[in-house]
Amino acid sequence: MQYTNHPLLQNKSAYSLALFEHFVSVYQTIGTVELNATKSMIGIHNGKKNITWITELGKNSFRVFFPFKRTYNYNLCFHKIAQVPSEIHQFNHHLRVFYPEDINEEVIEFMKLAYRS
């Protein structure tokens, strides 16, 4: 993996790192992506912009959000949708992944939507 020395990935369990790698590999089936690290997050970049942000890796899960220009309230995957308090019209859709199966068809559709945005 490209950012194994990133603070977000250091001293994490093999399980949460495998979940993270699985998530990135699913994105790679959608299109070409790169990892773009900041101090506190890892962005998934589609060649134009960061389309998804990994914000935390826990012992057995990781947290991620998708920045969309509108809300997608009718879903089963996001536990929180919050508008970014700025002049940018952005709604962060938060997801927590515990199992590889959590990256299901619904999540993959949102990943595709983020990739195309």
CA distances from 31 to 8, 28, 49, 82, 112 (A): 24, 5, 13, 27, 9
Number of Cα atoms under 13 Å in the Cβ half of residue 73: 1
**Residue 1 pLDDT more than 60?**
no
To the question of domain 14-116 being in CATH 3.20.20, the answer is: no
Question: For the chain, which residues make up each domain, given as ranges?
Answer: 14-116
Per-residue pLDDT of 5-41, as tens digits, reads 667 777 888 899 999 999 999 999 999 999 988 888 8
Q: Tell me the residue type at 105.
A: E
What's the distance, CA 106 to chain centroid?
Answer: 14
What is the pTM (predicted TM-score) of this model?
Answer: 0.89
Structure confidence by residue, pLDDT tens digits, 45-103 = 999 999 999 998 889 999 999 999 999 999 999 999 999 887 778 999 999 999 999 99
